Amino acid sequence: MSIENKIESSEELVRWIDGKLGGLKLPSNIRSRIAAGCLDIALEHQKAIITLVQSKLYSSAFALLRTNFESHVRGLWFLHCASEADIERFKKKGHIGRQFKDLISDIEKIEAFSNGALSKAHKQSWSSLNDFAHSGKKQIAMRNKEFSIAPNYVEKDISTILEFGNTTSILSAIALAELSKKQHLANEIYNKGHLFWADT
């Protein structure tokens, strides 16, 4: 699939998700509000990644991948794992006081996440995500051509970041649907995800 088609497909996905989540009623307790805020940020980051790729601002698109993934994982952790003390600490101090890998470990103790997909994604991508976010070796290499400093990204890499963000969007949308107690909607988004992944 060409990058143009991949962008088109990604745009269609986020429009579809927006249509499904629009007007969704969520619980008003503080845990749900924090979790939903994180998950919604993950969805917004993917829209930004698509926009940046369309504009050929690839370095910025790559840099957003880490925060996209982090927002999704934090949303799941606040929703399923955070203690009341964790919630209070975040409200007062603005941080969790836990390492990111520990959040994933907590989440994967829950049966629905026990397949290890999050820890696998973390293990395979974290070094690269940090590199992209902090102008590391890989990010700098992608800005060097033989005789100039300019974007030098291959289509496969651009395709990969769109797929990564699309996956995070689908999973964040499922979590929001479940938070709203709309299991039928969560199932519909899950099925859409399977069709989407099969096409890409």
51 within 8 A of 11, measured Cβ to Cβ: no
Q: What is the mean pLDDT of residues 163-167?
A: 94
pTM score, two decimals? 0.92
- Residue 148: what pLDDT? 85
Structural domain harbouring 177: 3-199
How far is 65 from 60, CA to CA, in rounded Å?
A: 9
End-to-end CA distance of the chain: 7
pLDDT at 146 exceeding the cut of 90: no
- In the structure, what pLDDT confidence band is assigned to residue 188 with cuts at 50, 70 and 90? very high
For the chain, the average pLDDT equals: 92
Q: What is the mean pLDDT of residues 115-130?
A: 94
Please tell me the total count of domains within the chain.
Answer: 1
DSSP H or E stretch at residue 62: helix 58-80
Over residues 18-65, the pLDDT tens digits come to: 999 998 899 989 999 999 999 999 999 999 999 999 999 999 999 999
Distances 21 to 14, 176, 189 between C-alpha atoms, Å: 10, 8, 10
82 within 8 A of 33, measured Cβ to Cβ: no
